[in-house]
Every structure is written in structure tokens, then in C-alpha cells.
A = this chain, B = another copy of it.
Amino acid sequence: MMKLARVLKPGTSGRISARSDLMDVLCSNGFFNQVGISTIGQNVGANDRIHAQYYVYKGKAALSACPVLPRFTKLNNGALKVDRPGAMMLTFSPAVAERKYDWARKQLFALSVTEVGSLITLGTKDSCEFFHDPSIRTSAAGQVRKSLSVKPLMDCSGYFISLNVVNNALQTNERLTVPITSAEFAVMCTTFRFALPILMGWDRYNNSQPLLLNVGVTTAKLDASKLPKSIESEWDR
């Protein structure tokens, strides 16, 4: 079975589903280098300054994976809204000698939440392929095309994960392939499953400060205009 994920081309709608393309835009444009700090709020600190990759070192290339956290905006009423979902960042680096990898020539591929869903449901005989255009919705659209393919090994004991980057401007065509054992794939699937709710911001839904029924006033008719907007919209209709 071949699952095919097309590049979605969002129109003028406010919402973008192909978020991971946007990530590539930001990366390839050096957005985070040049104006990136403007997207960072008061707490650059704690959470995104963790370096905890899962590394797989193989003969021709190394692959690493780590979560990229979502970004929130603070609404006027104080509520937090996911502004940009997180992603699972895959990094490929070519081998330059035995067990030596050239991290300067690394290639990135940011799996969206749904692409992660595709990976974690992959059967041992299944394939899937994802296409990203890092310059989507800019004048440079189509110049760089990335595709990530996951194909079963002959004996179904794992997968080939290949990243192909075609750069028409530089006239380069690079392919980095890492064979993955079923054990390594199990680590990925297990930790990607763990990460999915976090990429979506759902770890903020918890009962550490539970919503309490204020028994004493349940029958009172209180002024709806004082109801916090976020609660209204949550329960609206």
C-alpha cells in the first residue's frame, strides 16, 4: 500500500494546513535568524532550549529526530491559542568517514502532526511519501522540492527512510538514505506517539488546576456579560 501525501496549497483562508511547509519557508529564508526573535515571547528559556535527539547512525548517513514545540499567542482575554502547531524535525547528515558525519551539510524535514500520524500507523509492508516545498507561497515556489519516503526493507525487518532535496536554483539533487531496523522504528513510533499531543499543545489540557463547581452559587442567575469570553466560545451554541 502506498500512502501519498500531496502538498496542500492553502488559498486565502486564514488557516494553513501545510504547516510544515511554512516551517521550511522559515528555515530556508533564515527567518528565525533575521527576524526570528520577534516570534519569541518572554520565555525563550525553559522548554525549547533542550537538546535531546534520537540518533540513528548508519553507513552512509545519520538520522536524528526531535520535537519542535508549537507556538502560542495570548488572546486579549488572557487565553492561550496555538498559533503554529509543532512538528517532528528529522535531520539527515551524510557520512564522510567511518562513523563521521558532516553535520554542516545536514538536511531538515519537519514532519507535520498528520505526517507523524501517517508514520505511526505504517504496517510492516507499507510505504509512505511526503512532499514539502520550503518556498511555498513565495515567488521562489517550486525552486526547492523535498520529499521524504519510507519504504519497507526487502524482508520487512525495517524501513529505508530517504530524503531527496532537489534545488533547481543551485541545480543540486541530494539524496540521503538511512536504513532503520524495526527496533529503531519502534523507538520512533513510541516517542512520536508520546510527542503528538505536545506538538498540538494538548499537554496544556490537564486537571492540575481543576475546574470546580462552585456549589454555593449554582442556582444564582449571574450576569452573562461577565462570563470570560474563552468559556463562552468553548460552550457556545
Inter-chain CA distance A202–B186, complex, in Å, is 16
- Does A94 belong to the interface (CB within 8 Å)? no
Which segment of A73-81, A135-143, A166-174 sits at the interface? A73-81
Contacts of A53 in B (CB 8 A): 82
**With A15-B55, A231-B32 given, is the CB distance from A69 to B211 under 8 Å?**
yes
B49 touches A212 (CB 8 A): no
User: Judging by beta carbons under 8 Å apart, are B51 and A230 in contact?
Assistant: yes
Q: Are B235 and A201 in contact (CB under 8 A)?
A: no
- Contact, CB under 8 Å: B33 / A182: no
Complex CA distance for A78 and B223, rounded to whole angstroms: 28
Identify which of A36, A74, A202 gathers the most chain B CB atoms within 10 Å of its CB.
A202
User: Is the pair A41, B193 in contact by a Cβ cutoff of 8 Å?
Assistant: no
How close is A87's CB to chain B, nearest CB, in angstroms? 11
Contact A210 B80 (CB under 8 A): yes
- Cβ-closest chain B residue relative to A120: B186
Shortest A89–chain B CB gap in Å is: 8
Q: Does A46 contact B (CB under 8 A)?
A: yes
Contacting pair B68 A234 (CB below 8 A): yes
Measured CB to CB, the closest approach of chain B to A74, in angstroms, equals 6
CB-defined contacts of A44 to chain B, threshold 8 Å: 211, 228, 231
**A99, A107, A224 pick with most chain B CB within 10 angstroms:** A99
Binary interface profile of A, 54-70, with partner B (CB < 8 Å = 1, else 0)? Answer: 11010000000011111
Task: List residues of chain B with CB within 8 A of the CB of A48.
Answer: 211, 230-231, 234
User: Does residue A153 face the partner (Cβ distance < 8 Å to B)?
Assistant: no
Residues of chain B contacted by A231 (CB below 8 angstroms): 32, 36-37, 40, 44, 48-49
Q: Which of B34, B67, B77, B186 contacts A121 (CB 8 A)?
A: B186
* Nearest chain B CB to A19 CB, angstrom units: 10
